[in-house]
Amino acid sequence: MSEPTRILLVDDQPLFRGAIAALLAGQPDMEVVGEAENGLLGVEAAHALRPDLVILDVEMPVMNGVEAVRLIREQVMDVKVIMLTVSDVEDHVLDALRNGAHGYLLKDLRPEQLYDMIRSVMRNETPISPGVAGRLLREIRQGSSKPRVTSPAAQPEQSVTRRELEILRLVAEGLSNKEIAKRLVITEGTVKNHVHNALEKLHMDNRIQAAAYVIRQGLGAPSGEPTGR
């Protein structure tokens, strides 16, 4: 049997933190190795404990989760980070994902959903709460009203090919590789390669970050092209 996933919990509410720890204690493939009550202590604990996964609240005193995820991802190797919060504020979602979060979950999940999403992030997937995903997709469909130039690559067209950008747009629409392949009449493997290459060029870890990037940069489909599914 493989080693359990070592988890660090960071949340300013001790009652909630303890509740999550008690739930995870009942899962044989998960082990809570530490707890912290704010982002700064969370970063320190991540350094000291080297967990496999950090579960981070967003709104916390001293240092919020959005800043903490950036520092953890910069400073701690091979750690996954999931945001677990009541905040579905778009800026929080996008900033957390851009800062390296591997998933964004809301606290209205059922316990079984949380377990599933923890397991999925450890399989290198990027779980997003359904409510948050819906908001992201709405923003994509409406077009970004707040384009920013804060991405790792300021002029992506200089590094990302037109085909890669086209595929990233479809990723941002929420399409799977299979769906993108069908739409562009190419193989799924080709899509996977394009996504992989684009992520490398943009110094991103996953497709959710890429989706956030497309939204932030206002790189959605040009007018006249369909943006819905």
Instruction: Establish how many alpha carbons lie within 13 A of residue 90's alpha carbon, considering only the half-sphere containing its beta carbon.
Output: 14
Reading the block at residue 205, the tokens are 């870890």
Piece of 15-23, 125-133, 186-194, 213-221 that binds another protein (CB under 8 A):
15-23
Q: Report the residue from 12, 35, 52, 173 that binds another protein according to the rule CB under 8 A.
A: 12
Q: Report the residue from 14, 130, 134, 218 that binds another protein according to the rule CB under 8 A.
A: 14
- Taking residue 84's Cβ as centre, other Cβ atoms within 10 Å add up to 24
Shortest Cβ 139–another protein spacing (Å): 20
Say how far apart CA 197 and CA 144 lie, in whole Å: 24
- Annotate each residue in 35-74 with x if it binds another protein (CB under 8 A) or - if it does not, as one string: ------------------------xxx-------------
Shortest Cβ 23–another protein spacing (Å): 5
Residue 87 lies near another protein (rule: CB under 8 A) = yes
The residue (of 22 and 48) whose beta carbon lies closer to another protein is 22
Residue 111 lies near another protein (rule: CB under 8 A) = yes
Q: Pick from 101, 120, 24: which is nearest to 58 by CA?
A: 101
Say how far apart CA 69 and CA 124 lie, in whole Å: 17
- Indicate the helix (H) or strand (E) that contains 212: helix 207-216
Shortest Cβ 13–another protein spacing (Å): 5
Residue 86 lies near another protein (rule: CB under 8 A) = yes
Q: Is the CA virtual torsion 28, 14, 112, 97 positive or negative?
A: negative
Asked if 178 and 148 touch (Cβ cutoff 8 Å), the reply is: no
Q: Report the residue from 4, 6, 21, 184 that binds another protein according to the rule CB under 8 A.
A: 21
The residue (of 111 and 130) whose beta carbon lies closer to another protein is 111
Q: Pick from 191, 213, 194: which is nearest to 202 by CA?
A: 213
The residue (of 59 and 179) whose beta carbon lies closer to another protein is 59
- Annotate each residue in 91-110 with x if it binds another protein (CB under 8 A) or - if it does not, as one string: ----------------xxxx
- Taking residue 201's Cβ as centre, other Cβ atoms within 10 Å add up to 16
Q: Pick from 53, 144, 135, 125: which is nearest to 92 by CA?
A: 135
The residue (of 25 and 48) whose beta carbon lies closer to another protein is 25
Q: Is the CA virtual torsion 13, 108, 39, 8 positive or negative?
A: positive
What residues line the site for another protein (CB under 8 A)?
12-16, 18-23, 25-26, 59-61, 86-87, 107-111, 114
